[in-house]
Structure 1
Amino acid sequence: MAKITYIEHDGTEHVVDVKPGLSVMEGAVKNNIPGIDADCGGACACATCHVYVDEAWREKTGSSSAMEESMLDFAENVEANSRLSCQIKVSDALDGLIVRMPESQH
């Protein structure tokens, strides 16, 4: 299991164990973490699972695919460290990952 810290826009932190193989989005949904809507269920088709990856974790989470980059055009307040959490696969190497949610997914 990888411990992932999800930080809501207001600073509220949720630290949960997420099974390797799941996505960061699935970890949030399964643990009822507010701030990740995941309207499309993880199909990289809606941008409502937008997160900001903590700078220390950007390399370990990999780079965005062309499809993910295209979907991020629909997210609000995109930054250099923006990712769609449905596209980040959890592994033991991501134990300690920190992601922050934007103020709104819509």
Structure 2
Amino acid sequence: MAKIAPMFECTNIKGKVAAMTITTFTSREFQQNANRAQKAAQAGPVFITNRGETGHVLLSYEHYQRITGKRRNIVEALSMPGLADIDLEVSRSHELPRPADLS
């Protein structure tokens, strides 16, 4: 029988708090009840275990998009929105550069 953990609050990468239920299926239960696992994934992640060790996590596509931030490429993934409005003052160093030690 699948184990269902109580709901808990989590904060995603955008700072939004949401309630989520974690469900655990053994690999055998998952094979026999894939439809039930898909329904459980609508409420939160479904952990699929094999011999007691978590091997896979089933997420709804909507949840996957939320946690990945719907990023399309590495530039967007590494960009930090909202930083354009920050003033950054960097003082210029007047020290002479040292030669590189290539030994």
Q: TM-score, normalised by structure 2?
A: 0.24
Q: TM-score, normalised by structure 1?
A: 0.24
The answer to which structure, 1 or 2, has the higher relative contact order (CA under 8 A, 6+ apart) is: 1
Higher helix share: 2
Q: Considering only CA atoms, is the larger Rg found in Structure 1 or Structure 2?
A: 2
